[in-house]
Amino acid sequence: MVLRQTLAQTTMKAVIILGAGQGKRMKSSVPKVLHKIAGKPMLQWVIDAVKILSADQIITVVSPELKNHEILKGTDVVVQEVPLGTGDALKFASQKLKSNINKVFLFCADTPLLNQKDIKNLEHSKADLTVIGMKLEDLKKSYGRIECNNKGYPIAIKETKHNEKIKNIPTANAGVYVFNAKMLQALLPKLKTNPESREFYATDLVELAVKNGHTTELIFADEENFLGVNTLVELAQAETIMQRRLKTEHMLNGVQFLLPETSYVNHDAEIGTGTIIEQSVHIGENVHIAENAKILGFSYLSNCTIESSANIGPFAHLRGNVVVEENASIGNFVEVKGSIIEKNAKAKHLSYIGDAIVGEGANIGAGTITCNYNGFEKFKTQIGKNAMVGVNTTLIAPISIGEGAYIAAGSVITEDVSANSLGITRTQQQEKNEWATTFRAKYSKKLS
């Protein structure tokens, strides 16, 4: 019992996430850390990644405009009014540390590609200060460099923007650290501003730790996992990497992407085994696709559920709480919004289905439109089981088409149609003999 209590006391962990930078290089009105990767803000990716540590405390350092943002719920928020570097942010955060914390993990909010295996490796470090390093293939990159002694232990981190010569060092700083909490509290007051930038750098803590007799450790990890996003170019690079990761995971689970590099998948997409995703498909937020579905090229899906063996597309657009049930088909240039398409129903061509229930086995002809909005309110359309709606038909909601009913092509339907009936609104066709000949002769004379 005494042993268990001792172990518990040595593993009280805090995570500090630095996210107060202004992000001027993004040239965007959106705060840098709220820019999204695969539909999730960068800061949220970091918060989610560090959950593997089961930390006793998570502290987020943010700018004033983010202090009340919902993304920070569950964290202790520290506002850095004027950003004066990572060291300054760390000073503010350390004041918020709980008294029983003895291990502090430091991450940056603009690194959305963190790998939980790397984070877990940090948990096993024994040194007073541990830093993650990356082996660079391109020495021209501007990452800070980690200087080590002849035993391979870090002794300093130098920023390349202040010393170009250190770019020859192949070990780059990933910006992730683990500190002994007491050591951190003792060293932070000793940080000095950089004479050129007039900012406090957390990187200087390595050299301070060594000078004060503390132990250090270096853990290596892949450079890709620590890509820092400071520009929209880097945001696009991070998106490309995340998309590759997400689609690789789906493919390993039995989802076939015909041209994976052309499609987009949101982070929360659920896709069942045996489903085929063709080229240039956009799978947005809150999309659930069951087994053996087929999503044809250039389709756009968001907030929808696709049940097993359903076919979608090509060029289909589903949005706003759509359900497409088993074996149903939504074809080319069909938009579906806020509707349920029941089993075996079909809408194959050039239609808009909004706020409707299309019954099992019903067939929606090309050019059909459910008119659901009068400029003030939206209304429902109910289409019964096995109904047949002819081409170029307009259904004015609210309206109900009974089971097995037929709607004649070219009709504008404004009243309910009962089961197994024919709904038709057409004027009688007329034919005027030789009308075209007379018409052409008239205009030929006029234009001559």
The C-alpha atoms of residue 42 and residue 241 are separated, in whole angstroms, by: 13
State how many domains the chain has.
Answer: 2
- 372 and 236 share one domain: yes
* Structure-block tokens of residue 208: 């301070």
Vertex 46, ends 167 and 162: CA angle to 5°?
Answer: 20
**Amino acid (one-letter) located at 284:** G
- 191 and 321 share one domain: no
Backbone angles phi, psi at 333, to 5 degrees: 55, 40
Can you name the residues that pair with 17 across neighbouring β-strands?
60, 107
Beta-carbon neighbour count of residue 256 at 10 Å?
15
Cα 384 to the chain's mean position, in Å? 37
Residue 28 lies in a domain: yes
Peptide bond into 398 cis (omega under 30): yes
- 266 and 191 share one domain: no
- 167 and 244 share one domain: no
The C-alpha atoms of residue 181 and residue 198 are separated, in whole angstroms, by: 26
- 123 and 264 share one domain: no
Examine the pLDDT at 12 and tell me if it is beyond 80: yes
pLDDT of residue 157: 94
**Tens-digit pLDDT profile for residues 197-230:** 788 999 999 999 999 999 999 999 999 999 999 9
Examine the pLDDT at 17 and tell me if it is beyond 90: yes
- 287 and 301 share one domain: yes
- Enumerate the H helices of 212-333 as residue ranges: 232-252
9: which residues sit within 8 A by CB, 6+ positions away? 100, 102
**Tens-digit pLDDT profile for residues 72-130:** 999 999 999 888 889 999 999 999 999 999 999 999 999 999 999 999 999 888 999 99
* Structure-block tokens of residue 341: 């398409």
Is residue 225 within 8 A of residue 133, CB to CB? The reply is: no
Examine the pLDDT at 254 and tell me if it is beyond 50: yes
- Range of the structural domain that residue 324 is part of: 232-423
Beta-carbon neighbour count of residue 264 at 10 Å?
17
Vertex 38, ends 86 and 49: CA angle to 5°?
Answer: 50
The C-alpha atoms of residue 96 and residue 27 are separated, in whole angstroms, by: 32
- 211 and 238 share one domain: no
Residue 164: CATH number of its domain: 3.90.550.10
The C-alpha atoms of residue 257 and residue 277 are separated, in whole angstroms, by: 5
- 323 and 378 share one domain: yes
Residue 129 lies in a domain: yes
The C-alpha atoms of residue 26 and residue 174 are separated, in whole angstroms, by: 20
- 323 and 240 share one domain: yes
312: left (phi over 0), alpha (psi -120 to 50) or beta: beta
* Structure-block tokens of residue 227: 């890509």
Could you tell me the CA-to-CA distances from 9 to 16, 42, 123, 154 in Å, in that order?
19, 32, 15, 27
Residues in the chain: 448
- 199 and 265 share one domain: no
| Banded pLDDT at 4 (limits 50, 70, 90) | very low
pLDDT of residue 162: 65
Q: What is the dihedral of CA 312, 313, 317, 322, to 10 degrees?
A: -10
Residue 381: CATH number of its domain: 2.160.10.10
Backbone angles phi, psi at 292, to 5 degrees: 60, 25
Catalytic residue among 267, 282, 288, 349: 349
Is residue 205 within 8 A of residue 180, CB to CB? The reply is: no
Is residue 208 within 8 A of residue 190, CB to CB? The reply is: yes
pLDDT of residue 8: 43
pLDDT of residue 9: 52
**Tens-digit pLDDT profile for residues 298-319:** 999 999 999 999 999 999 999 9
- 196 and 256 share one domain: no
Q: Which residue has the higher pLDDT, 299 or 8?
A: 299
| Banded pLDDT at 3 (limits 50, 70, 90) | very low
The C-alpha atoms of residue 113 and residue 49 are separated, in whole angstroms, by: 9
Is 349 a catalytic site residue? yes
**Tens-digit pLDDT profile for residues 394-416:** 999 999 999 999 999 999 999 99
Q: Tokens 């295996």 sit at which residue?
A: 117
- 281 and 204 share one domain: no
71: which residues sit within 8 A by CB, 6+ positions away? 34, 41, 43, 44, 47
315: which residues sit within 8 A by CB, 6+ positions away? 297, 298, 299, 332, 333
The C-alpha atoms of residue 247 and residue 265 are separated, in whole angstroms, by: 7
The C-alpha atoms of residue 109 and residue 35 are separated, in whole angstroms, by: 11
Q: What percent of the chain has pLDDT over 90?
A: 86
**Tens-digit pLDDT profile for residues 138-151:** 888 888 899 999 99
| Banded pLDDT at 10 (limits 50, 70, 90) | low
